[in-house]
Each structure stands twice: as structure tokens, then as C-alpha cells.
Amino acid sequence: MSSFVLNEIRKGFYLDSVALMRLSREVAAAPGVIEAALMMGTPANIAILREAGLLAGGTTEAGGNDLILAVRAESEAAACAAIAEAEKSLDKPKAEVGSSAAWRARTIAAALEESEGINLALISVPGDFAAAEARKALSRGLHVMMFSDNVSLEDERSLKEYARENGLLMMGPDCGTAVIGGAPLAFANKLNRGSIGIIGASGTGIQEVSCLISEAGGGISHAIGVGGRDLKKEIGGITTLMAIDALNADTSTDRVVLISKPPHPDVAQSVIKRIAGSSKPFIVCFIGAQSAELPPNAQFAQTLKQAAELALNGRVGGTFDASIEVARHNSRRRAGKIVGLYSGGTLCAEAQVILSAGGRRLASNAPIPGVAAMGIADAEGCERIIDLGSDEYTKGRPHPMIDPSVRDDALRAALDDPSIAVILVDLVIGYGAHPDPAGHFAEVVGRRSANSPLIVSSVCGTERDPQVRSAQVRKLQEAGVLVAPSNADACQLALALVSGN
């Protein structure tokens, strides 16, 4: 199919990455638009746009402080109309004279001059500029949560060492979730306040555990994100160790849950030693590790659900009997593959671990050429459990938690594949996420045939979230999706539904 690519450059016009992803989603939904992206003109972003085929002529004159509007549409008219609507949206804040949105600080210094009592800065700028902005914030005595990614390990180490020397927390880079004093930051949920602290090297891992705890009647004191690389040898767990100390000293925290993929062995020893010196009980969930040698005040959790249960000393997720669901759908059981199409990276990693333990042979999460016509299995017949939020799948596009249509092509391909028995998915709701991911999902799967694979899902969120968890669950169930109370339960149900497993 032929297409028309159109670019527009706004010189010296900055928006943070979350705002740009949201607007990209709106533009991509316009009539006749095939793909759209709004990005700052950094070299890394220009390379992404070029690879995605979203640069007219393959070049651009934009610089790092300029905004690129890029659209690929079915016709020139559709592209022009989409760009025009995007420009209207970009101009809206300037037109809101007299509203609270009329003035926005353009620098950290200006924000501090305007408002008193600020002690934390959330950095959400292109990675090329993120380290410099974080240094400005730290030098002014602010804790930092860095949502930005594409920051070098050298810069991350330097920032965290400076923060440690000055008694400040440096959360991130690539820190997607935090809850500080009840305030949700970035991708987070509306939770009950309580006495359980969480430290997480992952965003959706924090969300899953905190939501399960909150929905079971418990509460969260603080959830500190440390960034996905903090427990690497190069970083040494600097923020994780500081977070352990902070929550140990926090009088509102009675116990702590620590979530990450397995750390480097040297870093793991440092973390375990610090836990042993704490006066509080810890639950340690290293996704993918079979066990860990822990001190007497710590317990090991195999799954995120188990971590939540240990934190509460009881069950979470309500009553759920997989055998009942299996019996109900016994006539549709068949031999075949389980395919996972995930938006949450840690939820995807947990699924890979559980399904591997259940005897499934899994392929890597390497990018699949032409996702629209993707082969779900690799050449050796292994199944894929895919993190569609990873960089390989989001180049030039919003994250699937913001724009669930990122999953659509892969989902349609899986529904039409007769070798697939079960499709396993996650829906993550809360602040920053799509306003109705279940509604969008239901539209995509609504026209599937009776012979299509069974679909198993979980919804990570709470009743107090803007999307309302029960409403999202109901929409999925009305669309014929089997909904489990946790990701771990969904994985076990998927295994049970595959006949001969």
C-alpha cells in the first residue's frame, strides 16, 4: 500500500516524553493515518524516526531542542489534516490565558523560585539532556526521579554517587514508577496508604505487588523505583542500598518488599548484607532466581503474587480456582502453543519464568521483523513471550501502556494462527496509562472466530484508579477473555488450558 510521509518541525518547542507519547497516540488515531510520532529532534530520536520510515526524504534539520511532528498516512490530504490537528493540540496551552496551565516553569531554577517546599524533581526529557537536568536538580538539593532512558552507565554511576554523597535519592534512569508519601509518580496507581514499603528495579513489578496489596486491604508507605540497571555490577546497587536505609529509618514502614531481576552476585551480597542489618522484615523477589540465601529477617518470593502475600501474611487476589475455568472451557482446549503479548516488562519476565518452569520452550524476546505478519514461533518451534514495551517494538511509537494499539497487529496474527492454543496478555491501568485499554482490546478481539485461541489476561490496577479495575475486568469478560486475579495466576491458567501439557 502506498503512503505519504509528512514532517513538521517546531523550533525551540519542548514537551516531555509522556506528553509526546499521548499526543502521538491521538494523531495516530486520525482518519487515514498509518503511523505517527512526535519526538524531540535528538540524534537518537532522529535515528528512530528514520528507521520507522517517518522522515520525509530521510533527513531533518531539527536539533535537540526542536520538536518533530512525523506522520505517515494513506494520502497527502490525510497527513496534512493530521499534522494540522496536532498543531492545534500543541497550541492549546498557550491559549489558556488565566488558567492554572497558563504559566509553566521552563527551568528547574524557575520552578524553585515560584514554589516553596519542592524536594523532588521528575526528569522526563530526551536521554541526551537527562543527565544534565538531573545534575541541576541534585545540585539544588532535590531528590530525583528520572523517567528518561538512554542515559549512559557512566552518567548514571556519577549521578548516583553525587546523590549518595549529598544524602539524596537518585531514582532511575528508566524509572517508570514510584509512590512517595502516597503521591503516585509516572506510571503508578491509586493505592491505600499503609505500612508496607516497596523497592523495585522495575515499574510493572512495583505496580503488580502494590496493587495486589492495596486491593487485599493492605497499604503502601512508599514505593521507591531505582531504575532497571541499579543492581548491575557497574552501578553497584547504590540507590537500592540507600532505599533500604531510608525505609529502615522510616517510622511509617513496618516491612519491605524488594523486587528485581537477579542482581549481579557481588551486588546481591551487598544488598543481602544491608538487609541483614535492618530491624525490619524483608520479602525478596528476584524474578527468575530459584532461591537466595537470605538472613533470618528475610523471606524469598518466587512470584510477584507470592511477594504480596508474604507482605500481608495472607492471600491476595480473592478466590480463584484455575480448575473451574479449565473445566468450563474443556471443549475448547487443544494442543498448541502459548503466546504472550505483554506491555509490562517485569510481568513478561515473570511469565517467561513460570511458563519455562511449566515445560514450555521459549524463544528469545528479539525483535520480530514485520510484526504485522509476525511468525509467533521461531525456526525451532519455540514459543514467544514478548515484551511489546521494549525498545525493539516502540521505535517511533508510544509505549503499549499508553497506546494499546501497539499490540494490535501481533494480536490479530496470533488469533489467526491455528498452532496457538492460548494467548496470554496483561492490561496495566492507573495514572499515565490508556483511559480504557480493555475497551480497545475488546474491539480488536471481538470479531475472532470460534476456533480462535483462548485468551487469558490479568488486570494490574485498583478500584481507585481512573479506569476502575472491576470495569476493565468486566469489559474483558464480556469479550470472552478469561481474567485471572494476578499475572502469576494467568500464567498458571494458560498452562492448564493447553491440553496435553
Digitized pLDDT (tens) for each residue of the chain, 501 residues in all: 678 999 999 998 877 776 787 788 789 889 999 888 888 888 878 888 888 888 887 667 888 889 999 999 999 999 999 999 999 888 875 434 333 444 567 788 888 888 888 999 999 887 888 999 999 999 999 999 999 888 999 999 999 999 999 999 999 999 999 999 999 999 999 999 999 999 999 899 999 999 999 999 999 999 999 999 999 999 999 999 999 999 999 999 999 999 999 999 999 999 999 999 999 999 999 999 888 889 999 999 999 999 999 999 988 877 777 787 788 877 778 889 999 999 999 999 999 999 999 988 887 554 433 333 344 444 455 788 999 888 677 665 678 898 898 899 899 999 999 999 999 999 999 999 999 999 999 999 988 888 899 999 999 999 999 999 999 999 999 999 999 999 999 999 999 999 665
Give me the residue spans of the domains in the chain. 4-95, 105-168, 175-318, 322-497
What's residue 398's pLDDT? 74
Query: 48 φ, ψ to 5°?
Result: -65, -45
Contact between 449 and 264 under an 8 Å Cβ cutoff? The reply is no
Q: What is the CATH number of domain 105-168?
A: 3.40.50.720
HEC string of 48-80 equals: HHHHCCCCHHHCCCCCCCCEEEEEEECCHHHHH
User: CA-CA-CA-CA torsion for 193, 196, 197, 200, nearest 10 degrees?
Assistant: -100
Judge whether 4-95 and 322-497 match in fold. no
Interhelix angle 153-165/127-139, nearest 10 degrees: 10
What's residue 99's pLDDT? 39
Those residues whose C-beta lies under 8 Å from the C-beta of residue 213, and which sit 6 or more positions away, are 191, 192, 194, 196, 219, 220, 308, 311, 312, 316
What's the topology of domain 322-497?
Rossmann fold (3.40.50)
Pairing state between β 33-40 and 67-73: antiparallel
> What pTM, to 2 d.p., does this model score?
0.86
CATH class of 175-318: alpha beta
In CATH, the architecture of 4-95 is 2-Layer Sandwich (3.30)
What's residue 115's pLDDT? 82
Cα 243-249-254 angle, rounded to 5 deg: 90
What's residue 420's pLDDT? 93
What's residue 98's pLDDT? 36
